[in-house]
Amino acid sequence: MTKLLAVLIEIINWLRIALSPTIIGGIVGSVFYYFFQNQIGQILWMMSAISGCVIGIIWASRIWKKQGTTTFMSKIISSPDLDKINMEKDPEDKKTIQQ
């Protein structure tokens, strides 16, 4: 059961990583379509969105193979600068954390 849950979390994080370039590609394609509102704009929009999707899939797959998507997302979401500020404010917490 825990193995299944771990795999589901990895898949969700893989989707989050893969969607980032896909959304960026869609936005860039929308800008192309805004300036070229004809068939050329549609083609540029589709090419941009598809290339963003492909780049996202490749990037997320490489991250999954190298270090795992959960590890990657935890590094991105963490804020070590704020942790240092909290440690300086209350030295009592520093002692309990080190033990």
- Structural domain count of the chain: 1
Query: How high is the pLDDT of residue 1?
Result: 79
Q: What gap in Å lies between CA 13 and CA 74, rounded to an integer? A: 10
- Structure tokens that stand for 26 in this block: 């869609």
Domain housing 82: 2-98
Q: What gap in Å lies between CA 50 and CA 25, rounded to an integer? A: 7
- Gyration radius from the chain CA atoms: 20
- Mean pLDDT value across the chain: 85
Give 50-98 pLDDT, tens digit per residue. 999 999 999 999 999 999 998 899 888 877 766 666 555 555 555 555 5
